[in-house]
Amino acid sequence: MSAVKLPKLKNKNKKSTVFKVFVSIILSLVILIFLGAIAFCTYIVLNAPEFDIKKLYTKESTVLLYNDKTEFARLGTENRELVDYDELPEVLIDAIIATEDARFFQHNGFDLGRFIKASIGQLEGNSGAGGASTITMQLSKNFFTSTEAQGVEGIVRKFTDIYLSVFKIEKKYSKEEIFEYYVNAQFLGNGTYGVKQASKLYFGKEVGDLTIPEAALIAGLFNAPSSYDPFHNIEASEQRKNQVLELMRRHGYIDDQQLEDARNITVASLLDTTVETNEYQDFIDTVVDEIIDETGLNPYTTPMVIYTTLDTKVQNTINKIMKNKKNFKDKTIQAGIAITSSKDGSILGIGGGRNKSGARQYNFATMIKRHPGSSIKPFMDYGPLFEYNGATPSTPIEDAPYTYSNGAPILNADRTYAGMMTIKEALAQSRNVPALKAFQQVSKKKISNYVHSFGIDYGPELYESAAIGAFNGVSPLEMSAAYGAYARGGYFIKPYAYKKIVYRDTNEEYIRNIKKTKVCSETTAKYINDILTYAINQGALGSINHASTQVAGKTGTSTVGGEAIRKYRLDPSAIMDSWACMYSKEYSIALWYGYDKISHKHYMVPWDGTVGRRTLAAKLSKVLFQTNSRLVTS
């Protein structure tokens, strides 16, 4: 019997040994984790920055220069007025608490429940799970640690914020003091810091006089001031305001009726439209957007010295033209003007629109995507025909009844046909039928490569209608840069508004990479320049003053579709967009003229567009086209 039991004893001993090893491993892991946690906490404590209130309000401004030495604007902390907690209206306190940290007055700087909930939501991929940072932690993150959210650095930053919040800030300051610091230090868009200055900027009133919807709008800016900027993104601002109002109702600060009343008050009706802005604001906006796009850093919140490409002569000319009401059909019609250097591709001046107030509003020179009409023909039709098929300005082409490949007829603007003519006359007269024929003679792949190389994006697919500019779309800045490539003999330079940045905190330099790319032969450029110079001399833009300077140019017009004509009861000849592009050896100018949105009251007929673009073009040329220079020649 004992011989039978021996294997069981061995098995029992084996299990006991495995169990002891397992327990030893677990205990070792626990000890390692415990020691690691101690080491991590020690690292956090030793490396945490000091919480110094002075640092909240002493960040340097961003300085913008032209001619590499002359200051024309500052962005940043000069636009700040401090407010005491007792001066804050209850409605604003409620709005910020409901939106940013509902249990602010209950926790000790760290809300464990919120932290766990947000962490689980983010692990599950729920982008709407909300953030884990309390108001106190935001104060630490925004001004003393960093906004890093990924990897080991993100973890260290998060726990540093928790340590500072619980053991440094909340231990030393009252909740009221912390809230006061928070609302005074925060960047709230358009170069404005703190709720007191934001109230004056957006509503023209003292912070203590804010209403429920106004308080909701300001509270909504704390999360993302640029994204919810009411001057720049009014639709997003409206949605954010309503989100804040809903949170206020959910947390019991307002009732259903107050919610409904506040939702019915639009952001547009709240804004103060008498805000004074820098005379070069359109250019400033262009620089800021470019730097954010390229570096990810906002000059309003990151102190910089920016060496811009601004030409004050050019910008002052644009400003004078845009402010003169006599230059425009009515007070509603808009315009966008972009002027770049034909020599180096830099942006010299920007006319971002009429009747604007505040910073970083919609820019009609850089942001629109409108049908270019016939102004696209030198790129979509004749440029490729010269470049790839060996055509010349004297090559014959017939202007006669014709159709697209699908059988739909194509018409000239005057509804007539000129018969056999040269390419020179066809482009100078902007005939549509020859343009389509030129387009059809070159492969779409070659046309696509050609057009894209000039910085023009026609969309996901190239249709034949693009031959006469029927696509969405282009901006004046894109057209100015494209024509500038012809002016410099076939070399494209992506337009840029600054040459160098110096970060004021570190003195580190960021020099912009300016790339010059050959996009067509000098012969092709010469052909286009000669034809478009001939077109200007024949009166394509009316009577423009260009002294002895050689000026080339092209116009463009887009029509309103039949459905819109019927919907808004418009004249059958209604047009949507009117373009004028002209360039010399020094300047490449592109301007768009039209309504942002058409209606039964606000639309153009062809004569309106012609008069509008000719008026603006004539006044620009009177100042800028006065030097003795000629475009590229063979």
Q: Which of 150-159, 349-358, 524-533 has maximum average pLDDT?
A: 524-533
CATH number of the domain to which 256 belongs: 1.10.3810.10
Residues 6+ apart with CB under 8 A from 197: 79, 80, 81, 188
In the chain, what percentage of residues exceed pLDDT 70?
A: 88
The arithmetic mean of pLDDT across residues 291-308, rounded, is: 92
Query: Is the pLDDT reported for residue 267 higher than 90?
Result: yes
Query: Is the pLDDT reported for residue 130 higher than 60?
Result: no
Of the three residues 457, 473, 489, the one that is the final residue of a domain is 473
- Whether 7 is in a domain gets the answer no
Instruction: State pLDDT tens for residues 585-616.
Output: 999 999 999 999 999 999 999 999 999 999 99
Same domain, 239 and 325: no
Of the three residues 270, 289, 322, the one that is the final residue of a domain is 270
- Among 184, 183, 145, which residue's Cα sits nearest to residue 165? 145
Asked which of 7-11, 209-213, 215-219 is least confident by mean pLDDT, the reply is: 7-11
Same domain, 437 and 505: no
- Whether 3 is in a domain gets the answer no
Whether 556 contacts 565, CB under 8 Å: no
Residue-level pLDDT at 493: 98
Of the three residues 473, 489, 522, the one that is the final residue of a domain is 473
Whether 283 contacts 495, CB under 8 Å: no
- Whether 540 is in a domain gets the answer yes
Residue-level pLDDT at 100: 93
Residues 6+ apart with CB under 8 A from 587: 314, 339, 340, 341, 342, 348, 624, 625
Same domain, 257 and 286: no
Same domain, 446 and 511: no
Only one residue has tokens 């102190």, namely: 303
Pairwise pLDDT comparison (2 vs 170), residue with the higher score: 170
Instruction: State pLDDT tens for residues 42-69.
Output: 766 666 567 777 667 766 789 999 999 9
The arithmetic mean of pLDDT across residues 438-455, rounded, is: 98
* Mean pLDDT score across all residues of the chain: 89
Residue span of the structural domain in which 421 resides: 374-473
Same domain, 626 and 502: yes
Confidence of residue 112 (pLDDT cuts 50, 70, 90): confident
Residue-level pLDDT at 163: 78
Query: Is the pLDDT reported for residue 443 higher than 80?
Result: yes
Secondary structure tally for the chain: helices H, strands E: 23, 16
Same domain, 519 and 389: no
Same domain, 455 and 524: no
Asked which of 103-117, 351-365, 466-480 is least confident by mean pLDDT, the reply is: 103-117
Query: Is the pLDDT reported for residue 129 higher than 50?
Result: no
CA 468/CA 372 separation, integer angstroms: 8
- Whether 14 is in a domain gets the answer no
Same domain, 597 and 504: yes
Pairwise pLDDT comparison (225 vs 424), residue with the higher score: 424
Whether 187 contacts 225, CB under 8 Å: yes
- Among 148, 117, 112, 152, which residue's Cα sits nearest to residue 131? 117
Please give the model's pTM, rounded to 2 decimal places.
0.76
Query: Is the pLDDT reported for residue 288 higher than 90?
Result: yes
Q: Which of 138-147, 271-280, 605-614 has maximum average pLDDT?
A: 605-614
- Whether 586 is in a domain gets the answer yes
- Whether 17 is in a domain gets the answer no
Q: Which of 51-55, 386-390, 540-544 has maximum average pLDDT?
A: 386-390
CA atoms within 13 A on the CB side of 62: 24
Confidence of residue 128 (pLDDT cuts 50, 70, 90): very low
How far the first Cα of the chain sits from its last, in Å, is 113
Only one residue has tokens 């020859």, namely: 434
CATH number of the domain to which 451 belongs: 3.40.710.10
Residue-level pLDDT at 13: 66
Residue-level pLDDT at 633: 44
Residue-level pLDDT at 383: 98
Number of domains in the chain: 3
Same domain, 184 and 194: yes
- Whether 583 is in a domain gets the answer yes
Same domain, 399 and 320: no
Same domain, 444 and 509: no
Same domain, 217 and 183: yes
Residue-level pLDDT at 543: 82
Q: How many CB atoms sit inside 10 A of residue 603's CB? A: 21
- Whether 493 is in a domain gets the answer yes
- Among 336, 596, 354, 540, which residue's Cα sits nearest to residue 604? 596
Only one residue has tokens 């802005």, namely: 277
